[in-house]
Amino acid sequence: MPDTPPPSGGSLPASDQHSDKPQGAGQTALAGKSRKRLLAWWETLPGNARGAIWILIACFFFTIMTALIKYVGQRIHVSQILLVRQIVMTCIVAPTILRSFPSSLRTARPGLHLSRIFLASTAMMLGFTAVIHLPLADATALSFAKSFFVTIFAIIILKETVGIHRWSAVLFGFIGVVIMLDPTGAGMQNAYGLMAVGGAACAGMVMILIRQMSQTDRPVTILTYQACGVGLLMITPAWFYWVTPTWTELALMLAIGCIAWAAQMCNIQAFKAGEATAIASLDYTRLLYATLFGLVLFDTLPGVNTLIGAGIIIAASLYTVHREAQLNKRLVRAPEGRGYNH
């Protein structure tokens, strides 16, 4: 048998010339299959399980955001941090806003939007100032009072009917807050603890206003006023307290904006995927995250009063969630037109 002549010019066989291409294509195909398997697995999960995963991720991002605010806030005023945060978040959501502009500005309730902007700005100013000056876990635990303020404002403003069970949960929740503030010791004299509670109250009122606005205005309208309004309101105090940031501080403030947006998106996905009564209680994992970050980054641990008070607040909130779940089941089984007082 005659010898096979070598390829002219000493070039490699065609199969060897293209050996890299099949390898790269194979890796891409493998990655695509892995992603499809992951998505298929994700879709098989119950809605509440997907919602729980989303809320846990959101809590993790929120805690990272507050930890960065606490770190940067040692030298940079909170209004300056908020201004940069809002600029970043507005840039991220700008395509959504611009697609509907200027119709996104049309509202039937401009007064509610202005009130919401003012209260949201106040909530963040007070809450983030508390985060900067208090141990991270303490400030996080006090912020949980928001859920009880929502109940009170819903009764006063929305005229919702609340029974003995919800009132008992609110009462025990505020007992937990009082324990954390420690009125018999130095706690009540600590203005930052009161700031945290004040921020929680403002945040609770914001939730009520959003509920009212959502009945007449589109979500993009609510988003537009929030994104632009808070940033505009922060310009004056930020200019007054302005400190030229280092490159590291600027990078961290930009990261705060990106992480805040990611946390809010995860939170939205959580409540789209799962039932509120099933996943809302997982928001309290923020206290675990905050304790861990506080210990690792700032060498602080929550005090005994904080742990006791937070335990009471969480227990009262879990009872409320359980009560709501039971109520919903009873309403589903009840004859049409029959309701229950909770």
Could you tell me the mean pLDDT of each successive run of 10 residues in the chain, 342 residues long?
Answer: 48 49 62 73 75 88 96 95 94 86 82 92 95 91 88 84 78 85 61 91 91 83 86 94 95 96 88 73 85 90 85 81 63 44 43
In a domain, 79, yes or no: yes
In a domain, 57, yes or no: no
Q: Which two tokens stand for residue 329?
A: 């089941």
In a domain, 14, yes or no: no
Residue closest to 302 by CA, chosen among 137, 63, 131, 141: 137
Residue closest to 192 by CA, chosen among 62, 313, 70, 309: 70
Residue 158 gets which letter from DSSP? Answer: S
CA distance 285 to 298: 19
Size of the chain, expressed as the number of residues it contains? 342
State the residue range of the domain holding 164.
63-333
In a domain, 180, yes or no: yes
Per-residue pLDDT at 237: 95
Per-residue pLDDT at 15: 47
Q: What is the dihedral of CA 148, 152, 153, 155, to 10 degrees?
A: 140
Per-residue pLDDT at 91: 92
Per-residue pLDDT at 173: 83
Per-residue pLDDT at 311: 86
Per-residue pLDDT at 225: 86
Whether 119 contacts 42, CB under 8 Å: no
In a domain, 166, yes or no: yes
Per-residue pLDDT at 186: 57
In a domain, 44, yes or no: no
Number of compact structural domains in the chain:
1
In a domain, 226, yes or no: yes
CB-facing half-sphere around the CA of 86: CA atoms within 13 A = 25
In a domain, 24, yes or no: no
Per-residue pLDDT at 164: 81
Per-residue pLDDT at 257: 94
Per-residue pLDDT at 61: 95
CA distance 157 to 153: 6
